[in-house]
Amino acid sequence: MCSGRVDPVFVLQAFEDGADGVLVAGCHIGDCHYISGNLQTKERLENLIKSFEILGIEKDRLRLEWVSAGEGQKFQQLIIEFTKKLRELGPSPFNKKVIANPTGGGV
């Protein structure tokens, strides 16, 4: 219900489960229905990104954006841009299929 519910462990689990990228979209700053959930997520994910280099995950594989339900075009553009970026990056090094078959796979 709120981006504040996104625990960094969920993000790491998604990568471990084979996601090439994770997009967390929350309400605009000041619009969170739970007052500060998006601010807490921002802080948690910024801290998580700091560990990405150690984990071998490109920081561009995680994106945090503020987008409201009334911003369909913005959301569409966001998905297009993020998908393009993930295709440029290629499969995540954590993707179990890539690890099992390093010459195959894809985004």
- Site residues for ligand FES per CB under 6 A: 2-4, 26-27, 32-34, 37-38
Pair of tokens at residue 27: 């309400």
> 36 or 83: whose CB is closer to ligand FES?
36
* Rounded distance between C-alpha atoms, residue 60 and residue 19, angstroms: 13
Q: How far is the CB of 15 from ligand FES (least distance, A)?
A: 22
Give the number of other CB atoms < 10 A from CB of residue 40.
18
> 58 or 65: whose CB is closer to ligand FES?
65
Pair of tokens at residue 94: 């954590």
Block residue for tokens 């987008």: 67
Q: How far is the CB of 2 from ligand FES (least distance, A)?
A: 3
